[in-house]
Amino acid sequence: MLTDSFGRVATDLRVSVTDRCNLRCSYCMPPEGLDWLPGPGLLTDDEVSRLIAVAVQRLGVTEVRFTGGEPLLRRGLTGLVAAVAALHPRPEISLTTNGIGLARLAGPLAAAGLDRLNVSLDTLSRQTFKELARRDRLPDVLAGLAAAAGVGLAPVKVNAVLMRGVNDHEAAGLLRFCLDRGYQLRFIEQMPLDAQHGWRRTDMVTADEILARLADGFSLTPDDPGGRGSAPAETFLVDGGPGRVGVIGSVTRPFCGTCDRVRLTADGQIRNCLFATTETDLRTPLRNGADDDQLAAAWRGAVATKLPGHGINDPGFLQPTRPMSAIGG
């Protein structure tokens, strides 16, 4: 098992399969993009599959989520999903994507074994999308969402980040759009993970504000009477249900005490927290011929040192040097 010194057990593995993205969302990266990881430094498909197998078969990981960067840009993604689906025990397999290309890939991914997915959608305005993501791709995202639902990857979850003065007036509109289509919307507080280090606490639209905006048009009833467990989203029934909405207050309502996540970057580094300032290199031992026991031991060591919290609200908080796109959101 992947246990840390505070007794938390990591069972949810986030695998970044590329740091590249075809959008340039302003809360994530600058308009010109980033210096992408060099090709030879990226894990090959076989290396990714091998590390996931170690995590699932030796370390108790029960959910594998592919992310990035934009995971649909990785040519071998469908094969990776199929390889994970063939593992015993078979983990849950999910994907976080911006939806561009999903219209074509939703079917093959579902056939390969993908169980569910989250699609990021911050606005329904083509103009705002163009400004926020710096690409005119809203129609592709909407087509991707429809395709995912069409091939049965339900319930499709939608992730939205609200930014003050940009799209924060769209909370109710996004919720109505998702309710009408059976998508489950989750708002995520903007976190200090942008490559430009431009995050300001005062600009962040907080969970409280999001709920206040939604309360204007909808009646929300808490839907997690037993507590949210390790789920980051606080969920609410909308207008008595069955529709639901989630709010992930990563900054103002942190859930570190029940965090069950661990991350593998596209270049083979283990991160025990999104906000970790250190990583554990598995690529070097992997390429030097380490056996599965040795890789598992290194991985256990990486998780053992997980800090109690992400520290965003601590004085002297230091934003990780790796941006979200490289860590894998």
- Give Cα 167 distance to the centre of its chain: 20
Nearer to ligand SAM, 161 or 298 (CB): 161
Nearer to ligand SAM, 86 or 318 (CB): 318
Minimum CB distance to ligand SAM, residue 328 (Å): 7
Nearer to ligand SAM, 194 or 267 (CB): 194
Minimum CB distance to ligand SAM, residue 45 (Å): 19
* CB-based closest residue to ligand SAM: 329
Nearer to ligand SAM, 69 or 286 (CB): 69
Separation in Å, CA 96 to CA 67, 120, 164, 197, 306: 5, 8, 24, 23, 24
Q: For residue 104, which amino acid is it?
A: R
Minimum CB distance to ligand SAM, residue 79 (Å): 19
Nearer to ligand SAM, 94 or 325 (CB): 325
Contact of 81 with 115, CB cutoff 8 Å: no
Contact of 190 with 163, CB cutoff 8 Å: yes
Contact of 21 with 98, CB cutoff 8 Å: yes
Minimum CB distance to ligand SAM, residue 133 (Å): 9
Minimum CB distance to ligand SAM, residue 232 (Å): 11
Q: Give contact residues for ligand SAM (rule: CB under 6 A).
A: 21, 27-28, 67-68, 70, 96-98, 120, 159, 161, 188, 190-191, 193-194, 324-325, 329
- DSSP states along 151-201: TT-PSPEEEEE-BTTTTGGGHHHHHHHHHHHT-EEEEE---S--TT----G
Instruction: In whole angstroms, give the CA distance from residue 318 to residue 276.
Output: 9
